[in-house]
Amino acid sequence: MIVLGIETSCDETAAAIVTDAREIRADVVLSQLDDHTPYGGVVPEIAARAHLEHLDGLIRRAMAEAGIGFGDLDAVAATGGPGLIGGVIVGVMTAKAIAAARNLPFVAVNHLEGHALTARLTDDVAFPYLLLLVSGGHCQLLAVEGVGRYRRLGTTIDDAVGEAFDKTAKLLGLGYPGGPLVEKAAARATNPARFELPRPMLGRPGCDFSFSGLKTAVRRHVEELGGVLSEADRDDLAAAFQATVAEVLADRCARAIRRFKEDHPQGGALVVAGGVAANKAIRSRLATLAEKQRMPFVAPPLRLCTDNAAMIAWAGIERFRLGESDPLNFAPRPRWPL
Ligand code: KG4
Ligand code: ZN
């Protein structure tokens, strides 16, 4: 089975060709970073127009790289939400047009399901597994029991963790997108223990997260430093922030592991997914936790943690081989909880 995947829900235009033998035949991503940088964040209208301009060319490139034509496809999958609706519409309409013209099945994929199932594409992970899904818009702990069977154990009560990285980067004057820039600054820190930050929710019952207090604490430190940061201040604060986030994520995961093991005595892997899963300090903290808990730890390659179309094609394959597809009147969804 060969499937074309399309991703346009945020600021990455992406197309990929994936097979049900877990082979990524092509995976092209065009970042719109330069279009949005002057505004310090993603501008939805600019994103939608850029998707429209580039998507056809990217699909053509993906097909050429895979060495196939439209006649070789078995289905077309596109992100149907959640996301910036203008962009989602561009991806869905393009997929529907190909499906209609070639008489192919169309699968509308939940973007979060794309992240959630990536580890099965890269590492053939079996159900059930415990998933920490950490991206720009989401922060959730899920028991993944099957395709379409996600049980939420915890979520953020305020900011998503990627959002906290992006806002902290802004406070530190690092620019956009925040995650990778905070990680780079933290790696340069000479005194990572210099700043003390609160560890929100640490030790509290349940598996929920909270990050807005952490961001406020970073702001307070910046103000105490007179609003002007030296490079050393900035790097040390970035390191404190990143270490605190890693600690809080590990604490919440430890609690979720207890619940997961109660419900699934046969066990399962700890899997991390979403853009923030590209962070090496967070990956390594979670790997240590999994080892202590005697659970396999799976983190997809960095490229497949941030938004891409291979994960959308794969989630499409997972659903399509269970006999699921969507009608051509599927309406794109700005919100779509898992
Ligand atoms: O999954 P993703 O690419 O898009 C969404 O679906 O949201 O995640 C993007 C988020 C952004 O907030 C970005 O700052 C964060 O992931 N991110 C990182 C890193 N790379 C991306 N956060 C921390 N460290 C990174 N290396
Ligand atoms: Zn994403």
Tell me how far the alpha carbon of residue 43 lies from the centroid of ligand 2, in angstroms: 16
Nearest CA to ligand 1 atom 7: 136
Q: Which atom of ligand 1 is nearest to the CA of 9?
A: 6
98 in the same domain as 12: yes
313 in the same domain as 288: no
Tell me how far the alpha carbon of residue 276 lies from the centroid of ligand 1, in angstroms: 4
- From 165, 245, 285, the mutation candidate for ligand 1 (largest count of ligand atoms within 8 A of CB) is 165
Residue 133 lies in domain:
126-295
pTM of this prediction? 0.96
Residues of the chain with pLDDT under 70: none
Tell me how far the alpha carbon of residue 279 lies from the centroid of ligand 2, in angstroms: 14
Q: Is the CB of 300 under 6 A from ligand 1?
A: no
164 in the same domain as 66: no
Domain membership of residue 72 (yes or no) is yes
Token pair listed for 157: 């009560």
Count how many residues are written for the chain. 338
246 in the same domain as 178: yes
242 in the same domain as 175: yes
Closest ligand by atom to 41 CA = 1
**How many Å apart are CA 16 and CA 4, to the nearest integer?**
6
199 in the same domain as 130: yes
Domain membership of residue 42 (yes or no) is yes
Domain membership of residue 329 (yes or no) is no
Predicted local distance difference test score (pLDDT) of residue 248: 96
Q: Is the CB of 162 under 6 A from ligand 1?
A: yes
145 in the same domain as 84: no
Tell me how far the alpha carbon of residue 28 lies from the centroid of ligand 2, in angstroms: 15
Contact partners, residue 284, CB within 8 Å, separation at least 6? none
| pLDDT digits 0-9 by tens, 270-302 | 999 999 999 999 999 999 999 999 999 999 999
Q: Is the CB of 168 under 6 A from ligand 1?
A: no
Domain membership of residue 224 (yes or no) is yes
Nearest CA to ligand 1 atom 14: 179
- What is the ipTM metric for this complex? 0.98
Q: Is the CB of 7 under 6 A from ligand 1?
A: no
Nearest CA to ligand 1 atom 1: 275
89 in the same domain as 156: no
Token pair listed for 158: 């305020």
| pLDDT digits 0-9 by tens, 51-108 | 999 999 999 999 999 999 999 999 999 999 999 999 999 999 999 999 999 999 999 9
314 in the same domain as 291: no
Predicted local distance difference test score (pLDDT) of residue 38: 87
Q: What CATH number has the domain bearing residue 15?
A: 3.30.420.40
Q: How many domains does the chain have?
A: 2
